[in-house]
Structure 1
């Protein structure tokens, strides 16, 4: 999943324009947009990150790639709260 921060995305119209631009660049991509956090997440099917960022830019917005943050490793067994359940 690719994530972009788009600070100049401010309303529902912006969300629609960005969604449309991304789907034009990669029709099978899954697009999730959180307007409150200005985050655009894309699971591409064919296009790469550069093409998707360019699609957002061509729609008139400023995409900033957000580095993927790895989830912390899962603890083996139990609740991890110091008890003996694991």
Structure 2
């Protein structure tokens, strides 16, 4: 009897994990596209613009690039670590931000 009551919980947790994994894959794809966009903006600003404002835009672009990169790395690590987010990656993102 106890095993029968645990089965619905297993199914619910399995469905929720599937939804979470799908959402994380979609988030990783979106972040990868935005990362590519930041690379394009970084190259564009560094080649075609000059002046002090350009330096601030480049620094801002580098910071956003690293934030996107860290979030993508955290999602990859989630799948490598058997569906677990290591706490140190949250700390890395917090330090970068």
TM-score (norm 1): 0.27
Higher CA-based Rg: 2
Between Structure 1 and Structure 2, the one with more helix by share is: 2
Between Structure 1 and Structure 2, the one with more strand by share is: 1
